[in-house]
Amino acid sequence: MTMPPHGIVAVRAHLAKLPPTESVAERRAMYDRAERVFTLPPDTTVEPVTAGGRPAEWIRPAGARGDAALLYLHGGGYVIGSPRSHRHLAEALARSAGIACLLPDYRLAPEHCFPAALEDALTAYRWLLEEKEIAPGRIAVAGDSAGGGLTVATLVAIREARLPSPGAGICISPWTDLTCSAASYRSKAAVDPMVNLPDITAMARDYLGGTDPRTPLASPLFADLRGLPPLLVQVGSEEVLLDDASGLAERARAAGVEVTL
């Protein structure tokens, strides 16, 4: 799963040459083209399902256990991204754990503002409990970037709904503060090829739709994190979202959550 340094350099060089895109539709189409580049192993099955009224994919690597699952929430700033763009990543994580994965196609902004994505994520979790009858302790909720922040918000929403807690949360470069005010948004801007301040603030505005960016379930950095399951938080030292990730880890630890950063 780790990309070698020369690969990172190549990705940065490629991204720097890409022309700017003009519309949300164009950006979504470009993001979804990832499925052409990253193909799945031939022994993996992908089943389209309806999870609580929303389209999703049920991904089963060969040999996956039937009594455990990963709920993966894709990144993309709540504006772009889909199962098509993140199928390979979700499958690789599920394969490494020997379990199946539910990859929901949650609603996106600006058509569907907060809390639409959160509602869909919570519905997907209920589907795993009720339709797949998977024990909550055998479910991990995971996501990257916006999906990483959505992971934390979903864990908080699960607790507030008094649903049984999943076994763990996995946050990859989580976007947890939609005020976009941490120092790393500026200090890492020149070295992060994926995230820039103008784009991410525009995505925050689209997702919030007028909601206060410090609303805990929109920006889970400000949420009450007590009682959450163990968290694995991963982030690179040169990422714009470095402070969002480290701040999450710090606040979760202070709330008594077991955290690995």
Alpha helices in 163-232 (DSSP H): 184-187, 197-208
Would you state the structure tokens that stand for residue 18, as one six-digit string?
């890409």
DSSP 3-state of 80 = coil
Contact 257, 231 (CB under 8 A): yes
Among 82, 145, 184, 219, the one annotated catalytic: 145
Question: What is d(CA 129, CA 133) in angstroms, rounded to the nearest whole number?
Answer: 5
Contact 228, 234 (CB under 8 A): no
Contact indicator for 63, 89 with CB cutoff of 8 Å: no
Task: From the candidates 57, 91, 184, 239, give the one annotated as an active-site residue.
Answer: 239
What does the radius of gyration of the chain's CA atoms come to, in whole angstroms? 17
239 is catalytic: yes
Tell me whether residue 70 is exposed, middle or buried, using C-beta atoms within 10 angstroms of its C-beta: 0 to 12, 13 to 18, 19 or more: buried
Q: 193: cis peptide before it, omega within 30°?
A: no
Q: Vertex 175, ends 212 and 82: CA angle to 5°?
A: 105
Active site residue 35: no
Say how far residue 164 (Cα) sits from the centre of its chain: 21
Q: What is the number of alpha carbons within 13 Å of residue 247 lying toward its C-beta?
A: 20
Active site residues: 145, 239
